[in-house]
């Protein structure tokens, strides 16, 4: 069974402070990991994925297979980063499809 | 541009009513999903479909059914709505069964059961 754990429901920081949103996963194979973001009154959308190894809006995430983690980081938080962040894992499910499993989400609030 | 459209954004239904939530995608995607989004619980998978007329149960299928008669359309059905089904429902799609595909979400349907 695959599982994604986001231990923090809420993370509150001041503008300019570093941010780290934690994500741990459980999966027996080689997973593909993502971060999705939901800004206020907008639909959930992809922020970044492990396979692309890219930085989006200043955010990065490194897959640590030893610690089974995929933490999301940004060196200097901006007010517009305030949103709900979901970590997701794509693992093989029924019918051979890769099924996305999501964590419970972390609400990031960046204060001015 | 990629589009997943959920026709009903806000619904209020009575306990025991049959409820249909419709979702259409215009990207010719094979996979479609229905999730339920609740505060503190995140997104939980109800059902998914990887082809027309195919469906698979997710983590919380009880009380729900689905229909996929056409590739672009995936419907979620609550046969007899109950108050504990009050929630935000998200439809999503991916291009195919492969690993690492981006998930495209609809805007969500807020359902209140009274």
Chain B positions touching A97 (Cβ under 8 A) are 31, 48, 50, 56, 97
* Interval B24-69: pLDDT, tens: 999 999 999 999 999 889 999 999 998 898 999 999 999 999 999 9
pLDDT at B2 over 70: no
Q: A106-111 and A10-14: which strand pairing?
A: parallel
Q: Determine, for residues A43 and B106 on separate chains, whether the beta-carbon distance falls below 8 Å.
A: yes
Measuring CA to CA, which residue among A53, A49, A43, A47 is closest to residue B2? A43
* Interval B64-108: pLDDT, tens: 999 999 999 999 999 999 999 999 999 999 987 677 788 999 999
CA A57 – CA A59 distance, rounded (Å): 6
Over chain A (112 residues), the average pLDDT of each successive run of 10 is 92 97 90 92 91 83 91 96 95 72 96 96
Chain B positions touching A44 (Cβ under 8 A) are 43, 90, 105
């Amino acid at each position: 069974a695959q599982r994604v754990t986001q231990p923090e429901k809420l993370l509150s920081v001041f503008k300019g402070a570093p941010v780290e949103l934690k994500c741990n996963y459980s999966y027996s194979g080689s997973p593909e990991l993502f971060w999705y973001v939901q800004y206020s009154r907008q639909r959930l959308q992809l922020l970044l994925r492990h396979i692309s190894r890219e930085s989006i809006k200043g955010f990065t995430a490194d897959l640590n297979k030893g610690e089974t983690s995929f933490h999301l980081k940004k060196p200097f938080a901006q007010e517009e980063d305030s949103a709900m962040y979901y970590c997701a894992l794509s693992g093989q499910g029924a019918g051979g499809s890769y099924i996305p499993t999501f964590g419970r989400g972390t609400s990031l609030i960046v204060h001015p | 541009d990629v589009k997943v459209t959920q026709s009903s954004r806000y619904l209020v239904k009575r306990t025991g009513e049959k409820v249909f939530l419709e979702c259409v995608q215009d990207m010719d995607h094979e996979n479609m999903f229905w999730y339920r989004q609740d505060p503190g619980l995140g997104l939980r998978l109800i059902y998914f479909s990887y082809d027309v007329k195919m469906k698979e149960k997710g983590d919380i299928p009880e009380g729900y059914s689905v229909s996929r008669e056409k590739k672009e359309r995936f419907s979620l059905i609550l046969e007899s709505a109950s108050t504990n089904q009050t929630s935000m429902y998200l439809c999503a799609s991916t291009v195919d069964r492969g690993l690492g595909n981006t998930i495209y979400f609809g805007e969500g349907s807020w359902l209140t059961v009274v």
